[in-house]
Amino acid sequence: MNSLWSETVKPTGFPPLKGDTKTEVLIIGGGMAGILCAYFLQKAGVDYILTEANIIGDGITKNTTAKITSQHGLLYHKLLKNAGIEKTKMYLNANQSALDEYRRLCDGIDCDFEEKDAYVYSVSDRKIIENELSALDKIGFNAEFADKIPMIPEIAGAVKFPKQAQFHLLKFIVGISKGLSIYENTRITELAPHTAMKPQLLLNGFTAVGNLLTPTVPRCPHMGCALKWNRAERSWDCPCHGSRFEDNGKIIDNPATGGLKR
């Protein structure tokens, strides 16, 4: 799959790890989460290294939308109903704090950071938009109703989150990774007590367990989860960790490192 981000930025070129080394913290995987972990550990003075099997940002990260927002679908009406005002406020505030932190981190990095309004819209149901706005009003967030939005000609209504953001995520990764202790093309082959030799990921809760027990094929070569057929994009998708495969079994996205066995 071609990525706009990877086609418009040059790789960083970190060396592979040669020989043995010791560290207090090992970060396996150089996506956005791993890179930010490395950055904050270095700021805190913690001894760490990050290993990436290929090159940093080349997995799931390179195919994300690169928006930075506290708006994740029509979420707050459901969250308020199920979790109450205080927990919903905590979720919103955590996301807004993360947005502010990204704004701070991007200052001084050439990553095309732009402040943008974010929208979630409906083409037919104004009521669900009004419900979301009502929930946001109850937790004190200044969202706005919009009857017109960029690029979509006719809508029933939209929830507008002002002063959100977007950026070029790979330019950001290139900038923030400078000076970090990173080893690319370094595949961990096993994990043992106090020793790293192989990658190991925690299963993604009940979804992963359920899919591991599902008697169906094909299965993801990463951790054995049952794949689901994505009719819209004609791909086999792993609901546990996000690996994707073409109809013929060729890998599209990691964390799987190989195609499907036929």
Reported as a single tens digit per residue, the pLDDT across 178-190 is 999 999 999 887 7
Q: At what angle do helices 169-176 and 32-43 cross, to 10 degrees?
A: 30
Domain ranges in the chain are: 4-64+172-196, 67-167, 205-253
Q: Tell me the CA distances in angstroms from 50 to 35, 135, 179, 187, one per residue in order.
A: 8, 41, 12, 11
Mean pLDDT of the 194-199 span: 58
Place of tokens 């109903």: 81
- Encode pLDDT of 98-130 as tens digits: 999 999 999 989 999 999 999 999 999 999 999
- Give the contacts of 150 (CB within 8 A, at least 6 positions apart): none
Question: What integer best gives the mean pLDDT of the chain?
Answer: 87
Torsion of CA 140, 65, 44, 29, to 10 degrees: 140
AA identity, residue 145: F
The 3-state secondary structure of the chain reads CCCHHHHCCCCCCCCCCCCCCCCCEEEECCCHHHHHHHHHHHHCCCCEEEECCCCCCCCHHHHCCCEECCCCCCCHHHHHHHHCHHHHHHHHHHHHHHHHHHHHHHCCCCCCCEEEEEEEEECCCHHHHHHHHHHHHHCCCCCEEECCECCECCCCEEEEEEEEEECCHHHHHHHHCCCCCEECCCCCCCEECCEECCCCCCCCHHHHHHHHCCCCCCECCCCCCECEEECCCCEEECCCCCCEEECCCCEEECCCCCCCCC
Of residues 223 and 209, more confidently modeled: 223
Q: How many CA atoms lie within 13 A of 256 on its CB side?
A: 28
Looking at domain 4-64+172-196, what is its CATH homologous superfamily?
Answer: FAD/NAD(P)-binding domain (3.50.50.60)
- Encode pLDDT of 131-169 as tens digits: 999 999 999 999 999 999 988 889 999 999 999 999 999
Domain 205-253 classified CATH 1.20.1340.10?
Answer: no
- Is the pLDDT at 33 greater than 90? The verdict is yes
How far apart CA 255 and CA 160 sit, in angstroms, is: 34
Q: In whole angstroms, what separates CA 169 from the centre of its chain?
A: 11
Which tokens go with 190? Answer: 């096993």
State if pTM tops 0.85.
no
